[in-house]
Amino acid sequence: MERNDILKLNIKINNFDDIEEIKNNLKKEYEISHGSYENTELRKAISEKKPVIIKNHFLIGYDPDGKFIDVNNEKVSIERMVKAIIFESVKESSPEPDFNADPFAIIGKNEWDDVTQFMSFIGKLKVGEIFLPPHSAIFNFLDGSKDKKIVSALDGVNVNLYSQENHVDNAIHEIGHLFWRDCVNFQEKKAFREMFKTLKPSAIYVYEWERETEEEVFCTIYKWYVKSLLLNRAFYNILEYEEPRGLVLLQGVLSRLANDRATQDIWNLNKKEIFEYLNPRFDATTQKYLRKAGSFDRIKDIEIPTSLLNNIDRYENQVKYVSLEKATVPVKGKYIDFEPMAKAQTPTNNVFVDMDGVVADFARGYKEAFYRDAFHDDPFTIQQFCQQIPYFFRTLPVIEKGRLLVQMLESAGYKVTFLTRPMDGMPSCRGDKLDWIIDNFGDNYNVIFSDKKENYAKDNTSILIDDMDFNLEPWTAAGGTAIDFTKHSVSDIMEIVDEAIHGKKEIEDIEKQFDKIKITTEEKGSDESFRKGLIKFKKLPIMIENTPGSILFSRGDNGKKLVNRIKCHAGFIQGASGNVNCFIGDKFNKNAAVIINVNHADGMFDKPIAILGCETIDEARKLYLNNFQKNWDSRIGSIIMTNTKRVRDWVKSGKLNEPFSN
């Protein structure tokens, strides 16, 4: 029975109570069998892709432990005979076209006189079956190979058959290689690898090469299983007796794929409601988000498909955050975590560390896998090769210098966050990189996946340790501190990190400048408003007019004289065609900058004011308002977070008489 039919049936029987009533309702559309069945009979029906209904469950698979799996991914134990309906097929009197049933096998080059046996076998192959790879293959029937020992070979998606002897067996074996490459996940391959280490003699391994590697062993088991489905059930009995361990592992793979497919189908049926819940409409009148009544209860237990679980945005405080179209959500296992989560605090002393080339030895892994030099190949070539090994990033060696650096950073009290660029065209790349970090460094590290690392450079205390200029240069341009891992020793990197984080020299220099201004103030009197001295702050020329405790005289919109005692250093940034008023906090080593667009009392724009020496918008707002009378916050039009590099470019632009925008 095809997947579309299963979905339709699942909708129809979602809440059934009377199995006889369901049987009668569906009898007009489906060829069915009904009665009492044993566990083995139900397993056989499901193996033949015939869905089964028992009371309150719609069964579509079973796991290696013998428990049945229904469309909601619940496991059901059946220890004795139960009443059930088995759906044999859709009646031919009312056929429904299946637009997804494309042929799996495409005939390529044919140099054989007779391929009758193979053509009858090909007719049974369809894309989308649980036991087949997810795309078609091209079969070439060739006269012979230069190497007489090679009777068949897989070349990309081409299955080349060189011998007519046992060519069906050989074709299935090569399909097994496709299946191994595209369908078997890392943990499943690991299980076959462990089995291979203690492989026992078995009659199913006819040739010595069938037991050379875990992949060849898998393909041999796969061959016998597919033959049991498409040619003769007796092949299953042989496999079950000769290689029971391998059969259980293969059935585990097939069961997982069946569950993945069922999960994907259920997700597709509920996707619209899920995204409506995650992206609710905001009602400006009530100031509330609008969601349909009962929608949470309907979607809270729906699994996220494996294909979407791999789209990891970040891993933060041991929680995965997955991108689902317009929403990024935390997940627990395979489910969206709808529980309110405590807002993660921004870690102090944070250091961003790249993965490939810093802690993960990409170049060595690439050379060992493909016998090529990653430093000589262009990015497109590298991507093409890496795609040949779906779990390539999971198997990379560790760079010991990088491991030592991470250990030293942690010992010094710094918070390490891995900031890595995922490779395009490899759906499992993000998950593999995260698993690699957990396997080699533990699960206490935050991991961020981004194509634009510079977005995380807030100021000079934002440090990136990387090995590539195309990551380092934009980071520096954004105001962060970039360190080339390849050009410095671990001890040198630690010194640079310490200097950037604490900025001792820079702080001391600014403090000396302010001390000089303070002497001038004491000489001339603290209650006057006059220019007291020019300083350099983050390469910005600033004329200090007021020091903490001095008086600032100004006039309001009504002409009334305003007197304010200044709580911080204040003055103006000298620009190319004008000046920008500014206030400076006490965090001299911060590259963050906040621009406040100030309005007149009537709401019209007045002027921009720069707030330096602060770390956040809230901190900058408080610093600014502390220097004025109450209710001055009504003058604030907008507040924009930026950095001192952007401010330097802005004051050079001459656009100082209009609202600032990033």
Q: What is the pLDDT of residues 578-608, one digit of tens each?
A: 899 999 998 887 778 999 999 888 888 989 9
- Residue 327: which H helix or E strand, with range? strand 327-332
Rg of the chain taking only CA atoms, in angstroms: 34
Residue 194 has pLDDT above 90, yes or no: yes
| Res 127: pLDDT | 79
Q: Provide the sign of the torsion angle of the four alpha carbons 469, 475, 477, 481, taken in this order.
A: negative
Residue 363 has pLDDT above 90, yes or no: yes
Residues 6 or more apart whose CB falls under 8 angstroms from that of 371 comprise: none
CB 31 within 8 A of CB 90: yes
- Among 486-495, 550-559, 562-571, top mean pLDDT goes to 486-495
- Residue predicted with more confidence, 531 or 226: 226
**C-alpha distance from residue 227 to each of 40, 137, 603 (Å):** 20, 18, 79
Burial letters for 359-371: b for 16+ Cβ neighbours within 10 Å, e otherwise?
bbbbbebbeeebe
**609 class by beta-carbon count within 10 Å (0-12 exposed, 13-18 middle, 19+ buried):** buried
Alpha carbon 150 to chain centroid, angstroms: 41
Per-residue pLDDT band for 93 (boundaries 50, 70, 90) equals very low
Nearest to 176 by CA among 131, 234, 125, 141: 131
Q: What is the pLDDT of residues 307-343, one digit of tens each?
A: 899 899 999 988 999 998 778 899 988 999 887 554 4
Q: Provide the sign of the torsion angle of the four alpha carbons 244, 248, 250, 254, taken in this order.
A: positive
- Residue predicted with more confidence, 88 or 268: 268
Instruction: Scan for tokens 């585990």, then name that residue.
Output: 252
Please provide residue 306's backbone torsions phi and psi, each rounded to the nearest 5 degrees: -55, -40
Give strand pairing partners of 541. 536
- Cα(544)–Cα(573) distance, rounded to whole angstroms? 9
Residues 6 or more apart whose CB falls under 8 angstroms from that of 635 comprise: 598, 599, 600, 601, 606
| Res 73: pLDDT | 75
Mean pLDDT of 405-423: 92
- Cα(121)–Cα(170) distance, rounded to whole angstroms? 13
Per-residue pLDDT band for 7 (boundaries 50, 70, 90) equals low
Q: Are strands 592-599 and 569-574 parallel, antiparallel or unpaired?
A: unpaired
- Among 20-34, 334-348, 456-470, top mean pLDDT goes to 456-470
Please provide residue 177's backbone torsions phi and psi, each rounded to the nearest 5 degrees: -65, -40
CB 478 within 8 A of CB 641: no
Sheet holding 52-54, edge to edge: 30-37, 82-90, 52-54, 57-62, 68-70, 75-76
Residue 109 has pLDDT above 70, yes or no: yes
Give the end-to-end CA distance of the chain in Å, rounded to a whole number.
Answer: 57
Burial letters for 189-201: b for 16+ Cβ neighbours within 10 Å, e otherwise?
bebbeebbeeeee
| Res 90: pLDDT | 55
The percent helix, strand, coil of the chain (3-state, each to 5) is 40, 25, 35
pTM over 0.75? The answer is no
**C-alpha distance from residue 370 to each of 153, 381, 388 (Å):** 19, 11, 10
Residues 6 or more apart whose CB falls under 8 angstroms from that of 126 comprise: 101, 102, 103, 104, 132
Mean pLDDT of 184-192: 92
Per-residue pLDDT band for 556 (boundaries 50, 70, 90) equals low
Share the mean pLDDT of the chain: 83
Least confident stretch, 110-124, 155-169, 463-477, 646-660: 110-124
